[in-house]
Amino acid sequence: MPTPVCADELRKVYDAVMALMTGERAVSVGFGERQVTYTQTQLKDLQQLYRVFYRECGSGSGLPDIAATVERGPPAEFRF
């Protein structure tokens, strides 16, 4: 069995996080011979797993660091 590449595993976890964040009820992530199913209630656990993989190999992957906070400006106003 070939050794999994960290960037490939990171992509799998990222896709699973995005699926749960966009309304999917459950997603399965496989690592080697092990398969784990995450539900909406376990989203924080899956995000934590993503952060672990991101620290190991995320800098060159092109995927975002989901631990980084997003700063937003003031709300948009509409005037006539």
| pLDDT tens per residue across span 24-62 | 999 999 887 899 999 999 999 999 999 988 888 877 788
The CATH number linked to 38 is 3.30.1580.10
Mean pLDDT lowest among 11-15, 32-36, 38-42, 70-74: 70-74
Joined tokens for residue 20: 């749960």
Domain that holds residue 29: 6-57
Through-space distance between the first and last CA atoms of the chain, rounded to whole angstroms:
64
Domain-located, residue 64 = no
Contact present, 6 and 56 (Cβ < 8 Å): yes
Domain-located, residue 79 = no
The chain-wide mean pLDDT, for the chain, equals 85
Q: Residue 27 and residue 75: Cα distance in Å, rounded?
A: 34
Contact present, 54 and 67 (Cβ < 8 Å): yes
Residue 68's pLDDT band, with cuts at 50, 70 and 90, is low
pLDDT value of position 61: 80
User: In total, how many domains does the chain have?
Assistant: 1
Domain-located, residue 74 = no
Domain-located, residue 65 = no
Q: Look at 74 and 26; give whichever has higher pLDDT.
A: 26
